Amino acid sequence: MDRDTAFEMAVASVRFGVGVTSEIGMDLIDRGLRRVLIVTDPVVARLPPAQAVVDALDASGVRWVMYDRVHVEPTEQSWLDAITFARGHTFDAIVGVGGGSSIDTAKAVNLYTTHPPADFLDYVNTPIGQGLPVPGPLKPLFAIPTTAGTGSETTGVAIFDLTRRHVKTGISSRLLKPTLGYLDPDHTRSAAPAVAASAGLDILCHAVESYTAIAFTDRPRPARPSVRPPYQGANPISDVWSLQAMRMVADHLVRAVEDPGDDEARASMVLAASFAGIGFGNAGVHLPHAMAYPVAGGVREYRAPGYPIDHALVPHGFSVILNAPAVFAFTGQANPERHLEAAAVLGADVSRCRSEDAGRVLADRITWFMQRLNVPNGLSGVGYSSSDIPALIEGTLAQERLTKLSPRPVDADALARIFETAMDCW
C-alpha cells in the first residue's frame, strides 16, 4: 500500500458566548442574505432558542420560513420530508436550530436542494450508497446547537437512519460544514438529565475515538487531493482538540448533568462538543460509532427517559457509549500509549499500569462515567441479546469508512466477541 504522507485540517468557524444567537440577523444582513429557511424540531420550535432566532431575524428585517418537523434521530423519510418542504420555498441561507438531528437535516436540505442527485443514495457513504462527491459549493448554513454533544456545527458529516436496512449511515464532505456555528450556553439549560448525559458521552467518545484511531500515515494515499477523506486518521492537530475535549469532559460532564444550574459546567460542555467536533471531524471516529449505528437502527422497544418521543429510541450518545468499554478493551493492545493517556486525561490513575493494562483501564474509566450518569447497563439494557449479534455485525461491517479507522483490525468474529462483551458492561 502506498501510504499517505499528508493530512488536511478543515476547521469550522464558531462564535461562543451567552446571547450570541441575537447576532444572527445582523450577520445575515451583512452577508446580503435576506431570505432564510429555519430547520428545527417540534420541541425546540416552542422553546427559547428558536424564539431567539426568530426575534433576531425579525429585528434585522430578514424574511424567514420555518420547517419544524425534524425527526429526533432522522430517517430517510424525515430527510425527504424536509427536502420536499424546502423545494417549495425560496431562500438564500439555512439556519439549523437544535441538536445534531436538526443540524444534520439542515445539511441534507442544503445539499439535496442545491445539487439534486439522480437517486437519494447517490451521496450516501459506501457501501450503502454511491458515495459520490458533492459537486460544488452549497448555500450558507448557520448552526445553532441546543445540546452539547454532536459537534455537528463543526463537521462535514450528516447522519440518518436508513430504516429499510435498519442501520444508520450518512454523507461526508467538507462542503457540508456550516458557515458559522453559534455556541450559546443558555440554549442547553433546559436539557433533561438523560439528554445531557447522552450528548456528553457522545463528546467523550468523539474525543477518545479520534485520538485512538489509526494514524493518518496508515491510510492509503488518495489518487487526487480532492478525494482525501474527511476522516483521515489521528493527526497532530486533531490530537490537540481531542485531548482538550477529554479534559473538559472529565472536569465538567458530571457537573453539567447533575446540576443544570452550573453555568460554568454547561458552558464548558458546549465548548467541548465543538472541540471534539474539530478533532473527530478531521481524524474520524471508529468502532464505537460504527457499532452504534446498527444498535440505534435496530431498536425495538426501548424508549429513553427524558426524550419527548412516541417511538422506540436509543439516543445516539447511549448507542455509542454502550459499546465503548468493550471496544477499547479490544483495541488497547494496538496503541497502549494512547489508550493509557486517554484514560489518564479522563481521570484514571495510570501510574502503575503496564502496556497490557491499557485497554482495560480505559474501559473501566468509561464505565465509571456510565454508572455515574445512570446509563443502561450494556446492550442488554436497551433490549438486545446474543441472538441479535449477527444483525449487529452486518450493520457494523457496512460502516467501512469507520471500521477501517480502528487501530486494531476487526472482522465478523472479532465483532461478535466485542458485541457479546458489550451486552453487560458491569
pLDDT at residue 373, as a whole number: 97
pLDDT at residue 320, as a whole number: 98
pLDDT at residue 304, as a whole number: 87
338: left (phi over 0), alpha (psi -120 to 50) or beta: alpha
Domains of the chain: 19-183 (3.40.50.1970), 193-422 (1.20.1090.10)
pLDDT at residue 402, as a whole number: 95
pLDDT at residue 417, as a whole number: 98
Per-residue pLDDT of the chain (426 residues; tens, 9 = 90+): 799 999 999 888 999 999 999 999 999 999 999 999 999 999 999 999 999 999 999 999 999 999 999 998 899 999 999 999 999 999 999 999 999 999 999 999 999 999 999 999 999 998 899 999 999 999 999 999 999 989 999 999 999 989 888 778 899 999 999 999 999 999 998 888 999 999 999 999 999 999 999 999 999 999 999 889 989 999 999 999 999 999 999 999 999 999 999 999 999 999 999 999 999 999 999 999 999 999 998 999 999 888 877 789 999 999 999 999 999 999 999 999 999 999 999 999 999 999 999 999 999 999 999 999 999 999 999 999 999 999 999 999 999 999 999 999 999 999 999 999 999 999
* CA atoms of 242 and 210, how far apart (whole Å): 7
pLDDT at residue 5, as a whole number: 96
pLDDT at residue 384, as a whole number: 98
pLDDT at residue 72, as a whole number: 85
* CA atoms of 8 and 250, how far apart (whole Å): 28
Scan for cell 431562500, then name that residue: 91
Q: In whole angstroms, what separates CA 124 from the centre of its chain?
A: 16
* CA atoms of 10 and 14, how far apart (whole Å): 13
pLDDT at residue 109, as a whole number: 98
Q: Please say whether the dihedral angle defined by the alpha carbons of residues 333, 334, 337 and 339, taken in this order, is positive or negative.
A: negative
Distances (CA, A) of 347 to 149, 224, 251, 344: 20, 42, 9, 5
